[in-house]
Amino acid sequence: MGSQAGSDLPAMKTNPKFIFFSDFDGTITLQDSNDFMTDNIGYGRDKRRQGNLDTLTGKITFRDSFREMMDSIKKPYNECIDYLVSNIKLDPGFKAFFEWSMQHNIPVVVLSSGMEPIIQALLRALVGPDAEKIQVLGNFVRARPGKRIDEEGGWEIEFRNPESGFGHDKSIELRKYSSLPEEIRPTMFYAGDGVSDLSAARETDLLFAKKGHDLITYCVKENVPFTVFEHWGDILDKCKEIVEGRITVKQAAQDGFEAYKAGEAGLAPVGDAGQPTVK
Ligand SMILES: [Mg+2]
């Protein structure tokens, strides 16, 4: 029964006690690759920022705002990949975290609103051959009718969950793990930074939210416990404490909320500042 429950979950193959789920853009990478394309070769930063704000305040779904961003980019898909591989950088602490996670049987699963071919190309370029050990679940890309992906205006995003306002509803995958029988269910971590993570925020045991970014505003508003990180060195330190049994996930989340209240999360507590900030 237990093996059936986990049969479509590659991360369960090694019976891990912990799994680390993560957003990709702006979390594993320093810059958000989709924002980078939209700002530089799409309709520009101002429209993109307005779309982010409208998503946070519920005026538009993440899916529709994101599709508009992607539709504004006409560059052939292969050129988009090359452009991103030459411009996007990895969080400097991620490699050390990833090596530690492999040594401790902690699978890393990327849950992204970006498109899988771009994420895989960036991971290969930034992490090296071990990148193939990271399971990537994102959205897809397809050719527009009568066109090829690698021609001008030839591609469009294809959502994993087109019926969901999130486009990729990250909670669907996370619930496959959280609903496993107690005796095999691993402790679940998640790291994220922004509006694409709203569907994941409530679903794991400990949420790492990036300092100074939208996800923190959302978590406070919605009363979702979290701990703050600035770079993956912070995440590695906290995970070590937990894996070695020096602190519980509950205590870590509580500490995160205290840090936020003390003004250490890079955002003023809601009620003082009013408007959420968007990078
Ligand atoms: Mg992100």
Provide the pLDDT confidence category of residue 79 given band limits of 50, 70 and 90: very high
Q: Of 23, 32, 35, 205, which is the active-site residue?
A: 23
Q: What is the mean pLDDT of residues 157-185?
A: 96
Query: What are the structural domains, with CATH classification, of the chain?
Result: 2-8+15-261 (3.40.50.1000)
The 10s digit of each residue's pLDDT in 30-78 is 999 999 999 999 999 999 999 988 988 899 999 999 999 999 999 999 9
* pLDDT of res. 258: 80
Q: Does 32 qualify as catalytic in the annotation?
A: no
pTM of the model: 0.90
- pLDDT for 266 equals 64
Question: Where is pLDDT greater, at 1 or 207?
Answer: 207
Ligand 1 centroid – CA 262 distance (Å) = 25
- Going from the Cα of 114 to the center of ligand 1, the distance in angstroms, rounded, reads 9
| Pairing verdict, β 18-22 and 108-115 | parallel
Cα of 261 to ligand 1 centre, how many Å? 23
Interval 221-279: pLDDT, tens: 888 888 999 999 999 999 999 999 999 998 988 887 787 777 766 665 543 333 444 44
Neighbours of 162 (CB within 10 A): 11
Return the pLDDT at 202. Answer: 87
Spatial CA neighbour of 35 closest among 21, 22, 47, 19: 47
255 is catalytic: no
Question: Cα–Cα–Cα angle for 278, 225, 102, nearest 5°?
Answer: 90
**Strand pairing category for 155-158 and 135-143:** antiparallel
Query: What contacts 166, CB < 8 A, 6 or more positions away?
Result: 61, 62, 63, 113, 196, 198, 199
Task: Give me ligand 1 centre to Cα 247, in Å.
Answer: 27
Would you state the structure tokens that stand for residue 112, as one six-digit string?
A: 């992204």
The strand pairing partners of 157, in sequence order, are 141
Catalytic residue, from 8, 25, 39, 46: name it: 25
pLDDT, residue 264, reads 67
Q: Following DSSP, what letter does each residue of the chain receive, concatenated?
A: -HHHHTTT-GGGTT--SEEEEE--TTTTBSS-HHHHHHHHHSS-HHHHHHHHHHHHTTSS-HHHHHHHHHHT--S-HHHHHHHHHTT--B-TTHHHHHHHHHHTT--EEEEEEEEHHHHHHHHHHHH-GGGGGSEEEEEEEEEPTT--TTSTT-EEEE-SSTTSTTSS-HHHHHHHHHTS-TTTPPEEEEEE-SGGGTTTTTSSSEEEEETTSHHHHHHHHHT---EEESSHHHHHHHHHHHHTTSS-HHHHHHHHHHHHHTTTTSSPPTTTS-SPP--
Span from the CA of 29 to the centroid of ligand 1 (angstroms): 9
Residue 274's pLDDT is what?
A: 37
